[in-house]
Structure 1
Amino acid sequence: MRIRRATAEDAPACAAIVADWIAATAWMEAGPARDALETAMRDGIPKREAWIAEAGDAVAGYLSMRLEAAHIVGLYARAPGHGAGRALLDHVKRGRDRLQLNSHAPNHAAHRFYAREGFRIVARDLEGDDGGPEIRMEWTR
């Protein structure tokens, strides 16, 4: 797995990963269309710290974060359980003492993953950007 800095040109692959996740997640309400996701990512990637995990020639996952708050705003893998998420987290943990993220409250699989990676729940019952309930998790060295 190779980790590299994301560019705006990665937006179509990243948008596809998120759109596929939304479509496959029963509890997730319909989100923005793939083209809207792509536009948002094309605009947002240059403004954030964003990383891509590549397996061969394919984008296997991506992570985007607000650097000033050390807050991960998105971590998605094309095929969960194949190492892309862990590789991305390991990469952004280097040189940092703290990271935080919000996760959809019903996303128990993600919570288990983050707990294995050393994150702990620090807040519950938050309202997410999409109106759904979220929790906040934090990792400290």
Structure 2
Amino acid sequence: MPEVSVRPTIGAAEYPALTAIWRSAVDATHDFLAEADRDEIEARLQSDYFPAVVLSVAELGGRPVGFAGVLDESLEMLFVDATQRGGGVGTALLAHAIREHGIMTVDVNEQNTSAAGFYARRGFEVVGRSATDDAGRPYPLLHLRLREAVPIR
């Protein structure tokens, strides 16, 4: 099996591929998300959300399979194609974000228990909770902070 590599995004030309990864990941992990909310978020990915962060792309065999977006010391997004879940792509993206961008915090949907567990196993702890997401939708967020600089492989 090829090794996961992480690189910067090549820019807006890559946004459609990242949107497809996002959709695959969200369909697999965000069953709590109302269809209208999912569609509204997806419609804003390329115009609003991707340009607002520093994007890194995970590849397997030269093919994008996941991405992460960082703003300051916060991991704003991390999504892995559903067919690659559990294969180390998310861990590689998180390790890159910590090592290269110094991220210390991430918010995760409370209903996304697999993501909350993923971050907990990698040294993050809950330091707060919001009853809604950043857009005021009824999806509680857990605010996580990296306990210490632990090496993630």
TM-score tier after normalising by the smaller chain length: 0.7 to 0.9
1:61 counterpart letter in structure 2: G
Where do residues 59-98 of structure 1 align in structure 2 (5 Å cutoff)? 59-67=64-72, 70-78=73-81, 79-94=84-99, 98=103
Q: Does 1:18 align with 2:22?
A: yes
Inter-CA distance 38–103: structure 2 relative to 1 (3 Å threshold): closer
The percent identity for this pair of structures is 26
The gaps in structure 1 that reach 5 residues or longer are: none
SS in 2 for 1:127: coil
Compared with structure 1, are the counterparts of its residues 47 and 133 closer, same or farther at alpha carbon in structure 2 (3 Å cutoff)?
closer
Match of 2:144 among 115, 137, 140: 137
Which 4+ runs in 1 deviate beyond 3 A?
43-47, 95-98
What is the Cα deviation at residue 17 of structure 1?
A: 1.6
State how far apart, in whole Å, the 2-side matches of 1:9 and 1:126 are: 36
TM-score normalized with structure 2 length: 0.78
Unmatched segments (≥5 aa) in structure 2: none
Partner secondary structure for residue 20 of structure 2: helix
Structure with the higher fraction of residues in strand conformation: 1
1:98–1:138 Cα contact (<8 Å) kept:
no
CA-atom RMSD, angstroms? 2.2
1:1-141 residue pairs with structure 2 within 5 A?
A: 1-6=4-9, 7-24=11-28, 25-30=30-35, 31-32=38-39, 36-40=43-47, 44-67=49-72, 70-78=73-81, 79-94=84-99, 98-130=103-135, 131=137, 132-139=139-146, 140-141=148-149
Q: Is the 8 A contact 1:54 1:61 kept in 2?
A: yes
Residue-by-residue CA offset, 1:18-54 (whole Å, 9 max, x unaligned): 22233333212221268724533xx544442210000
Question: What's the TM-score once normalised by structure 1's chain length?
Answer: 0.84
TM-superposed deviation, 1:95: 5.5
Cα pair distance change 1:35/1:122, threshold 3 Å: closer
